């Protein structure tokens, strides 16, 4: 005998679907948290006095750079490169995002 799905079973199915997040979700979460954290760090830096240690602390960035990779197609030449400017708040946001991801798995 087939039963109609209940409200609780629908919630459980949605929860299981959300819990099965993959690598790309994690990568997107890290990227989004880095962007938001960098923006928050820069805003905090703008609100602090110019010569203060706190401003330097929040606005110092590390800039890993990947590239340039060149693809020479006969018709066109394409160059790819990525540079990330990460500050302390971006690192903090990425750590929080990783903890969130691992706790919800």
Domain that holds residue 53: 22-103
If one counts the domains in the chain, the total is 1
* pLDDT value at residue 32: 94
Q: What is the mean pLDDT of residues 73-95?
A: 87
Return mean pLDDT, the chain.
79
82 within some domain: yes
Confidence of residue 94 (pLDDT cuts 50, 70, 90): very high
In whole angstroms, give the CA distance from residue 86 to residue 63: 6
Q: How distant is the alpha carbon of residue 5 from its chain centre?
A: 36
Please check whether residue 50 lies inside any domain of the structure: yes
- Euclidean distance between CA atoms 104 and 99, whole angstroms: 9
6 located within any domain: no
What confidence tier does 17 reach under pLDDT thresholds 50, 70, 90?
A: very low
* pLDDT over 80 at 18, yes or no: no
Q: Is residue 89 exposed (0-12), middle (13-18) or buried (19+ Cβ within 10 Å)?
A: buried
For 41-67, give the DSSP string: HHHHHHHS-TT-HHHHHHH--B--EEE
């Amino acid at each position: 005998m087939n039963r109609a799905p209940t409200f609780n079973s629908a919630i459980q199915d949605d929860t299981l679907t959300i819990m099965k997040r993959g690598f790309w979700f994690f990568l997107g979460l890290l990227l989004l948290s880095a962007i938001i954290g960098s923006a928050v760090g820069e805003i905090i830096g703008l609100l602090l006095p110019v010569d203060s240690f706190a401003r330097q602390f929040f606005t110092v960035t590390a800039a890993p750079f990947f590239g340039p990779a060149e693809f020479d197609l006969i018709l066109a030449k394409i160059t790819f490169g990525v540079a990330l400017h990460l500050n302390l708040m971006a690192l903090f946001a990425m750590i929080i995002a990783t903890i969130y991801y691992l706790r919800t798995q």
